[in-house]
C-alpha cells in the first residue's frame, strides 16, 4: 500500500534491489571463480596439464602446446583502423573499412589477436560455456598479444583495465564472467589497475542473429557506470576487454557510458575478431 502511494520511492526501491542483486551475484561469482581457479591449480599440480586441443602432456603450466598455439589463426595487418577487420592485400596507409565509414563508434580503435574460427572458437566456447576456467591464463596470454599494437602504448603507460560485464542473471547461470577472468590475467601481466566499473542493467536477448542496427537498439541503455568509480575514471584512458568483437555494438555502448562519465578515451581489446 505504501509502495503504491509513492511511485518515486517505488522506483528507488526497485533500483536498490536491482543493485543489491547485481552486487550479490557478482561477489558470489567472484568467490566461486576464485575457488575454481585455485582448484584447477591444485589439479594441475597433481595431474600435469594437457593441451586442451590435442591432449599432449604439458609441463609449462599452460593448456596449449606450442604446435597448437602456432596453428591458431592470428590477425595480421592491414586491418581497419577502427574496427580491426583484416584485409588481404598491400595497404600500408591507415584506412577504415566500408562498414565503419558510415558508423559512429565511440571507442578509439579495436584490436583482437585471433580470428574467430576453428580452434580459437573451440577454446573460447569451451572456456565460456563448459566452464573450463583453467584456460584463463592460456587465453589471457593470447589476449595480451593484442597489446603489441603500438596504439596501446599510451594506454599501457597510464591506463585502466575494465571488462564488459554480464547481467547478474547470466552471471548466476555461468558462474564466472569470461571477460573479467581474462582481464584479471592482463592485470597481472601489465601491472595496470583493473576495476569492475560497469554493470549491465538489462538482461538483453542474445545478439547472435541480430543485424547491427537491431543489436544497437537491443543494447541501448543496457550498461551503467558503478557510481563509486566516477572519480576514478576522470581523464583516464581505458582498455575495455571482451571475449569477441563482432559488430562492435556492445563495446560501443560500454565506451559511450565510460566517455560520458569522464574517461578520456577507450580502446577495445578482445580475444577473437568475429
Which residues of this chain interact with Zn ion, rule CB under 5 A?
Answer: 51, 53-54, 65, 68, 80, 82-83, 85, 97, 99-100
Q: Write down the least CB distance from residue 51 to Zn ion, Å.
A: 3
Q: Write down the least CB distance from residue 45 to Zn ion, Å.
A: 20
DSSP codes of every residue in 197-208: -EEE-S-PPP-T
Q: Write down the least CB distance from residue 58 to Zn ion, Å.
A: 8
- Radius of gyration (C-alpha) of the chain in whole angstroms: 20
DSSP H/E element including 244: strand 237-245
Smaller CB separation from Zn ion, 81 or 226: 81
Q: Write down the least CB distance from residue 54 to Zn ion, Å.
A: 3
Please give the angle made by the CA atoms of 167, 246 and 221, to the nearest 5 degrees: 40
C-alpha–C-alpha distance, residues 198 and 2, integer Å: 32
Q: Write down the least CB distance from residue 24 to Zn ion, Å.
A: 39
Smaller CB separation from Zn ion, 86 or 97: 97
C-alpha–C-alpha distance, residues 223 and 205, integer Å: 14
Preceding peptide of 78 cis, ω within 30°: yes
Beta bridge partners of 245: 273
Q: Write down the least CB distance from residue 188 to Zn ion, Å.
A: 24
C-alpha–C-alpha distance, residues 114 and 251, integer Å: 17
C-alpha–C-alpha distance, residues 123 and 39, integer Å: 20
Report CA-CA distances (Å) from 187 to 139, 179, 180, 184.
13, 12, 10, 5
CB 236 within 8 A of CB 158: yes
Amino acid at each position: 500500500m505504501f509502495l503504491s502511494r509513492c511511485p518515486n520511492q517505488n522506483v528507488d526501491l526497485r533500483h536498490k534491489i536491482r543493485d543489491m542483486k547485481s552486487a550479490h551475484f557478482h561477489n558470489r561469482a567472484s568467490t566461486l571463480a576464485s575457488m575454481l581457479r585455485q582448484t584447477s591449480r591444485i589439479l594441475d599440480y597433481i595431474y600435469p596439464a594437457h593441451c586442451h586441443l590435442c591432449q599432449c602432456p604439458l609441463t609449462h603450466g599452460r593448456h596449449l602446446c606450442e604446435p597448437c598455439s602456432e596453428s591458431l589463426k592470428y590477425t595480421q595487418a592491414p586491418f581497419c583502423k577502427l574496427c580491426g577487420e583484416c584485409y588481404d592485400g598491400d595497404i600500408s596507409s591507415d584506412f577504415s573499412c566500408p562498414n565503419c565509414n558510415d558508423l559512429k563508434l565511440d571507442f578509439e580503435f579495436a584490436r583482437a589477436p585471433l580470428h574467430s574460427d576453428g580452434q580459437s572458437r573451440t577454446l573460447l566456447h569451451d572456456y565460456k560455456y563448459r566452464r573450463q576456467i583453467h584456460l584463463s591464463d592460456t587465453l589471457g596470454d593470447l589476449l595480451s598479444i593484442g597489446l603489441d599494437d603500438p596504439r596501446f602504448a599510451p594506454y599501457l603507460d597510464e591506463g585502466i583495465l575494465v571488462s564488459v560485464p554480464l547481467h547478474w542473471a547470466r552471471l548466476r547461470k555461468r558462474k564466472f564472467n569470461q571477460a573479467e577472468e581474462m582481464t584479471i590475467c592482463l592485470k597481472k601481466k601489465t601491472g595496470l589497475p583493473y576495476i569492475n566499473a560497469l554493470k549491465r542493467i538489462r538482461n538483453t536477448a542474445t545478439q547472435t542473429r541480430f543485424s547491427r542496427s537491431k543489436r544497437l537498439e537491443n543494447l541501448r541503455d543496457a550498461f551503467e557506470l558503478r557510481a563509486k568509480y566516477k572519480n576514478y575514471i576522470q581523464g583516464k584512458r581505458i582498455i575495455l576487454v571482451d571475449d569477441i568483437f563482432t559488430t562492435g555494438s556492445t563495446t560501443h555502448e560500454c565506451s559511450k557510458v565510460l566517455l560520458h562519465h569522464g574517461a578520456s578515451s577507450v580502446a577495445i581489446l578482445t580475444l577473437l575478431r568475429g
